[in-house]
Amino acid sequence: MLEVPERKPPPAADEAEAAADAGRRRPVPAWVITAGSLAFILAAWEFFGRDVNPVFGSYPSAIVEAGIQLARSGKLWTALLDSLQPFAVGYALAIVVGVPLGLVTGRFRAVEAAIGIYITAGYAMPLVALVPLLVLWLGLGFKVKVAIIFLLSVFPICINTWLGVTAVPKTLIEVGKSFVAPDSVILRRIVLPATLPYIMAGIRLAVGRAVVAMVIAEFFTSISGLGAIIITSANNFDTATTFVPIIIIMFMAVALTFMIGVIERRVAPWQAEIAGRDKQ
Amino acid sequence: MGEVSLVDLSKRFTLRLDGQTHHVQALSRVSFSVHDGEVVSLIGPSGCGKTTALRIVMGLETASGGKVTVDGREVRGCGFDRGMVFQFAELLPWLTALQNVMFGLEMKGMRGAELRQTATRYLELVGLGDSLNRRPHQLSGGMKQRVGLARALAVEPKVLLMDEPFGALDAQTRETMQAELLDIHARTRKTILFVTHDLDEAVLIADRIVVMREGRVQDVMTVPLARPRPDLGLVRGMREFADTRYRVWRALHEPATVH
């Protein structure tokens, strides 16, 4: 284990070489760079983490071991299910409500004047402070988790959509008008597609917030889910086990963001093509 | 048929600058007609109100006074009797060339196989039969404007309204497009109202030229050039072309007449 970082040349050198290579030959694929960076971080963590008191910190192999134990006992799977169900429902609900609300708010002056202020305020709302109240209303189970996840993720989606609509070129809307398109058709066939890149950005941003909301919900309300594993193991000074759900949640968020990126390129391919995605 | 008349058209904009309200008279009692099958160029310096007049004819803006009629019927708002070609084509970037043309037709209520066939036919008319499935960013400026033209023509408007459609193109492409437009006009006999600030263009394509300055019609003149004009290079060398060009130039530069 200790030899790992020594055998592998540091990725910094790799990247420098890659950059020099790029000019001459084919560039190194992005995933190789990401994998190299990940390997370096994990190796360094493993190397230095072992010297730390296990109460104050942990390291990858210990975390994997704790993870396997959690999985064998079956606790991990129940917790995962307990967390993912409200996450999926709350997040999906945020998209279903946030996108149309943002579209309508951005498109119609009266709606913007009537509810824009609540959306702006809602985005900045200190939701954590409201959790006790939500518990009073909705109890301690599934419903309150969904509500917290929904409330924290709906606003970034809505605000981004709203912003996107205001950025739609006026002339594109005039194209619709010149063909006598009714408002509903202009909204669906011109404003919505023109706003898609913004909507997808909002949906991406909301992933992070929804994940945080999920953990908050489990900290404050029920003794279930991944959040509960974090709390109980932390209380038992079992730091390695504490890291298991944290890593899983981070992995989940990264995977979800990646998936959204894939969807984005499918539903709005012209955007990437226009931008060209030309990076150095 | 396709006769457009602008009758005493006026437009006042209200602006707020530094807390003060300013009124800008964009159009004052503008009257002229475009006869059936005729091409009229509307020329003037920027800010003279020519685009505003065109937008009111299309129905994208409302007049403060006066009216616009197409074949004697007063227009209110946009309609399929008028088709607009925008300055920068304004294609929907997420649709292919074919789908962009189909969009207008769908709005008019066309469905099924006819929809695709009609859109294809019009793209072939503008010379884009082999680029049906390209998206706007895969088209050159001239090609985009061809799609814009096909989209407007496809709904079979009585009148084609064109807002400096070739102004953003390079000189060579512009010449090709002007010839193409004349060719399409010869085949379809559409009534065309063409806004431009390019003297040569105004003379080359039009039967009559309306010169606008400061929101008023300064002069209306007939272009003494026969149709068809298959070779625009030849037309440029004609004495009548030079004469007309000079007359328009004078109308644009001599002191504005006060009505």
Convert the pLDDT of each residue in A176-193 to its tens digit: 999 999 999 999 999 999
Strand partners for B67: B7
Mutate to test the interface with A, among B54, B88, B103 (most CBs of A within 10 A): B103
| CATH code for the domain defined by B4-81+157-253 | 3.40.50.300
Rounded mean pLDDT, B147-154: 95
Do residues A36 and A79 share a domain?
no
Residue B257 — very low, low, confident or very high, per pLDDT cuts 50/70/90? low
Across the beta sheet with B4-17, the strand order is B20-34, B4-17, B65-70, B73-74
- What's the confidence (pLDDT) of residue A24? 63
DSSP character string of B112-157: HHHHHHHHHHHHHHTT-TT-TT--GGGS-HHHHHHHHHHHHHHT--
Do residues A185 and A126 share a domain?
yes
A40 lies in which domain range?
1-17+31-51
Which B positions 179-238 lie with beta carbon below 8 A of chain A? none
Do residues A163 and A80 share a domain?
yes
- What's the confidence (pLDDT) of residue A3? 45
Do residues A226 and A265 share a domain?
yes
- Whether chain A has a CB inside 8 Å of the CB on B58: the answer is yes
Is residue A24 domain-resident?
no
Place of tokens 């043309």: B101
Residue A19 — very low, low, confident or very high, per pLDDT cuts 50/70/90? low
ipTM of the predicted structure? 0.90
Is residue A222 domain-resident?
yes
What is the C-alpha to C-alpha distance for residues B255 and B213, in angstroms, rounded to an integer? 10
Do residues A12 and A118 share a domain?
no
What is the C-alpha to C-alpha distance for residues B217 and B232, in angstroms, rounded to an integer? 27
Reply yes or no on whether the pLDDT at A26 is more than 80.
no
Largest CA distance in chain B: 57
What is the C-alpha to C-alpha distance for residues B223 and B203, in angstroms, rounded to an integer? 7
Question: For the domain that residue A82 is a member of, what is the CATH number?
Answer: 1.10.3720.10
Q: Domain total for chain A?
A: 2
Per-chain mean pLDDT for chain A: 86
* CA distance from start to end of chain A: 35
- What's the confidence (pLDDT) of residue A267? 80
Do residues A154 and A228 share a domain?
yes
Reply yes or no on whether the pLDDT at B259 is more than 70.
no
Do residues A3 and A102 share a domain?
no
Do residues A132 and A4 share a domain?
no
Rounded mean pLDDT, B73-88: 94
Reply yes or no on whether the pLDDT at B196 is more than 70.
yes
Is residue A151 domain-resident?
yes
- Whether chain B has a CB inside 8 Å of the CB on A38: the answer is no
Is residue B179 within 8 Å of B126, Cβ to Cβ? no
What is the C-alpha to C-alpha distance for residues B26 and B47, in angstroms, rounded to an integer? 8
What is the C-alpha to C-alpha distance for residues A137 and A140, in angstroms, rounded to an integer? 9
Do residues A47 and A131 share a domain?
no
Residue B51 — very low, low, confident or very high, per pLDDT cuts 50/70/90? very high
Do residues A167 and A256 share a domain?
yes
- Per-residue pLDDT of A156-179, as tens digits, reads 999 999 999 999 999 999 999 999
- Whether chain A has a CB inside 8 Å of the CB on B133: the answer is no
- Whether chain B has a CB inside 8 Å of the CB on A273: the answer is yes
Reply yes or no on whether the pLDDT at A16 is more than 70.
no
Do residues A111 and A187 share a domain?
yes
Is residue A198 within 8 Å of A103, Cβ to Cβ? no
Place of tokens 């917790």: A79
What is the C-alpha to C-alpha distance for residues B9 and B40, in angstroms, rounded to an integer? 17
Residue B107: its chain A contacts at CB < 8 A? 176, 179-181, 185
* pLDDT over 70, % of chain A: 88
- Per-residue pLDDT of A209-250, as tens digits, reads 999 899 888 888 767 788 888 888 888 888 888 999 999 999
Is residue A103 within 8 Å of A165, Cβ to Cβ? yes
* pLDDT over 90, % of chain A: 45
Residue B45 CB partners (closer than 8 Å, separation 6+)? B197, B213, B252
Nearest neighbour of A179 by CB, restricted to B104, B135, B137: B104
- What's the confidence (pLDDT) of residue A129? 85
Residue B97 CB partners (closer than 8 Å, separation 6+)? B91, B123, B128, B131, B132, B133, B134, B135, B136, B139, B143, B147, B150
What is the C-alpha to C-alpha distance for residues A52 and B25, in angstroms, rounded to an integer? 78
Is residue A62 domain-resident?
no
Reply yes or no on whether the pLDDT at B193 is more than 90.
yes
Is residue A209 domain-resident?
yes
Q: Which of A94-108, A152-166, B9-23 has the lowest mean pLDDT?
A: B9-23
Is residue A270 domain-resident?
yes
- What's the confidence (pLDDT) of residue A147? 93
Do residues A45 and A75 share a domain?
no
